Amino acid sequence: MALPGPSTMFLLLPFDSLIVNLLGISLTVLFTLLLVFIIVPAIFGVSFGIRKLYMKTLLKIFAWATLRMERGAKERNHQLYKPYTNGIIAKDPTSLEEEIKEIRRSGSSKALDNTPEFELSDIFYFCRKGMETIMDDEVTKRFSAEELESWNLLSRTNYNFQYISLRLTILWGLGVLIRIALAFTGISLLVVGTTVVGYLPNGRFKEFLSKHVHLMCYRICVRALTAIITYHDRKNRPRNGGICVANHTSPIDVIILASDGYYAMVGQVHGGLMGVIQRAMVKACPHVWFERSEVKDRHLVAKRLTEHVQDKSKLPILIFPEGTCINNTSVMMFKKGSFEIGATVYPVAIKYDPQFGDAFWNSSKYGMVTYLLRMMTSWAIVCSVWYLPPMTREADEDAVQFANRVKSAIARQGGLVDLLWDGGLKREKVKDAFKEEQQKLYSKMIVGNHEDRSRS
């Protein structure tokens, strides 16, 4: 007699109701767990410490995996690709003048005091410098995802990926499903909540509710991303009438900061899902959204921001002055617009731990939704947030100097490299002013001498 196959099992009544019951029970358990462990703490802002435990376990797993990979590579005598954060070539930090003088000295048999105007060998300096930048340059490095020296089980951050085990993959898959469910909850609650609050008449009750709805939804999103955030110096948190300035690595920065404080946001009006969220949020609380065309008009932007800031009852503004996402190893030039307004600036440094997942958003490579999915399929997002003491513009410095001062403070605190290059380099070619500087330096060497000679 043939054994009943799975299809026939479902026709047998006692099994049928059993499965339905099991399904019902497991769903209820799941929802209760969600409620108790995630939503309720989100409302009150407490944490069970589950995520910290998760983080410790992950670290142990990563160490084990890296060892395993190295052993495997040694057995097969293969070369493991080991990235170096300090760059591929040895660079000598000498200036243009010094190097060219050295080149001339080593090749010329003429007396040293009679320095010639131009030598055929001068070209070597520019040629070598050019080749060095082709092999390795500071800026392109900043814009690709940071390379890791140990491995974190995500194939996309390491070239030596090998498949490790089935159990880990299942665990990872479960995590992704839970996160997607949470993200969905968080976003829909935000949209619905803020719309509902928007219908209330203006007043203290509305503000109170709005603040808590915002905070709750951001905290749910934080848990959806499994973000483990450590806040330092919370006594320096931004206050009303100020501007909060932070370095920018990804759109998640907004969620991270907004889950710990109530801010007015500034940004471009987007289409799609972001647009829906933006429109709902502005009903409950006065955020400042700009149309694309308005963004180009700097005076208009400055005017609106100034109006907002001068109203002391209004919330602190959250601004990312770099203008674009950088890969979290450095801080690029800050645009001076937000520093001209004259309000108190509260700098914030955000540093992600790259071991757990690469948070950098390369906007030329991924769209927003792809990026968020990548974030949710990483193991976790671990970052530290430092609230720095407030700064104001001194009488004798202009907006650019003030911006640089704030930038250095943020870079120093977060352990990020302070670079002078413009963040816009990612999409535009660089300005000719820098090239002119080099040409000026070199011309002085060949023509400056000529003038001395003609006088004698």
Partner 1 sequence: MGSGGSRAAQIPDADRIRRETGFSQATLLRLYHRFRALDSNKKGYLSRVDLQQIGALAVNPLGDRIIDSFFPDGSLRVEFVDFARVLAHFRPIDDDTGTRDPKEPEPPNSRMNKLRFAFQLYDLDRDGKISRHEMLQVLRLMVGVQVTEEQLESITDRTVQEADEDGDGAVSFMEFSKSLEKMDIEQKMSIRILK
122 vs 260 by CB, closer to partner 1: 122
Q: Which stretch binds partner 1 (CB under 8 A): 2-10, 15-23, 70-78, 275-283?
A: 70-78
Nearer to partner 1, 36 or 89 (CB): 89
Residue count at the site for partner 1 (CB under 8 A)?
69
- β-strands 345-352, 381-387: how paired? antiparallel
Q: Is 88 a binder of partner 1 (CB under 8 A)? A: yes
Closest to partner 1 by CB, 112 vs 135, is 135
Give 140 or 230: the residue with its C-beta nearer to partner 1. Answer: 140
Return the residues of window 153-192 that contact partner 1 according to CB under 8 A.
Answer: 159-164
As a whole number of angstroms, the distance between CA 141 and CA 387 comes to 27
CA dist., res. 194 & res. 284, Å (int): 5
* Position 26 contacts partner 1 (CB under 8 A): no
Q: Which pair of structure tokens corresponds to residue 220?
A: 């749910």
* Cβ count within 10 A of residue 194: 22
Q: What x-and-dash track marks residues 394-433 binding partner 1 by CB under 8 A? A: ---------------------------x---x---xx---
Quick one: 412 or 435, whose CB is closer to partner 1?
Answer: 435
Residue 59 CB, nearest approach to partner 1 (Å): 22
72 binds partner 1, rule: CB under 8 A: yes
CB contact set of 193 (below 8 Å; sequence gap of 6+)? 213, 216, 217, 284
435 is a site residue for partner 1 (CB under 8 A): yes
Tell me whether residue 226 or residue 328 sits nearer to partner 1 (CB atom). 328
SS3 at position 347: strand
- Smallest gap from Cβ 438 to partner 1, in A, equals 6
353 neighbors 256 (Cβ within 8 angstroms): no
Cβ proximity to partner 1: between 185 and 328 the closer is 328
CB of 294 to partner 1, least distance (A): 29
Query: 3-state DSSP call for residue 395?
Result: coil
E strand or H helix at 438: helix 432-455
Do 125 and 100 touch, CB atoms closer than 8 A?
yes
Query: Pick from 120, 271, 313, 456: which binds partner 1 (CB under 8 A)?
Result: 120
Could you give the angle at the alpha carbon of 433 between the alpha carbons of 431 and 437, nearest 5°?
A: 140
Q: Which residue from 60, 71, 76, 167 is in contact with partner 1, where contact means CB under 8 A?
A: 76
By the rule CB under 8 A, 73 interacts with partner 1: yes
Do residues 108 and 119 lie in contact, with contact meaning Cβ atoms separated by under 8 Å? yes
| Residue choice 16, 97, 98, 117 for contact with partner 1 (CB under 8 A) | 117
Interaction of residue 67 with partner 1, rule CB under 8 A: no
Distance, in Å, from the CA atom of 158 to the CA atom of 138, rounded to the nearest integer, reads: 21
Q: How far is residue 269 from each of residues 221, 293, 320, 324, measured CA to CA in Å?
A: 21, 10, 16, 16
Helix (H) / strand (E) containing 238: none
Cβ-based nearer residue to partner 1, 72 or 415 = 72
Told to check if 332 binds partner 1 by CB under 8 A, we report no
* Closest distance to partner 1 from the beta carbon of 418 (Å): 16
Query: Alpha helix (H) ranges present in 93-231?
Result: 96-107, 122-135, 138-143, 166-198, 204-224
Q: Does 452 bind partner 1 (CB under 8 A)?
A: no
- The footprint of partner 1 on residues 267-306 (CB under 8 A) is none
Phi/psi for 199 (5° steps) reads -80, -15
Minimum distance, C-beta of residue 129 to partner 1, in the bound complex (Å)? 6
* The binder of partner 1 chosen from 134, 203, 299, 312 (CB under 8 A): 134
Q: Could you say whether residue 1 binds partner 1 (CB under 8 A)?
A: no
Stretch that binds partner 1, among 84-92, 186-194, 212-220, 313-321 (CB under 8 A): 84-92
Residue 122 binds partner 1, judged by CB under 8 A: yes
Q: Which of 78, 234, 298, 303 binds partner 1 (CB under 8 A)?
A: 78
- The window from 11-19, 76-84, 266-274, 375-383 that contacts partner 1 (CB under 8 A) reads 76-84
Q: Which of 76, 156, 114, 148 is nearest to 366 (CA)?
A: 156
Is 367 a binder of partner 1 (CB under 8 A)?
no
Residue 324, token pair as written in the block: 């674009």
Alpha-carbon distance 437 to 267, whole Å? 35
**10-31 burial, b for 16+ CB within 10 Å, e for fewer?**
eeeeeeeeeeeeeeeeeeeeee
Residue 130 makes contact with partner 1 by CB under 8 A: yes
Distance CA 271, CA 214 (A): 21
End-to-end C-alpha distance for the chain, whole angstroms:
118
Category of 273 on φ-ψ map: left (φ > 0), alpha (ψ -120 to 50) or beta: alpha
Instruction: Return residues touching partner 1 (CB under 8 A).
Output: 72-73, 76, 78-81, 83-84, 86-90, 103, 106-109, 117-141, 144, 159-164, 364, 421, 425, 429-430, 434-440, 442-444, 446-447, 450
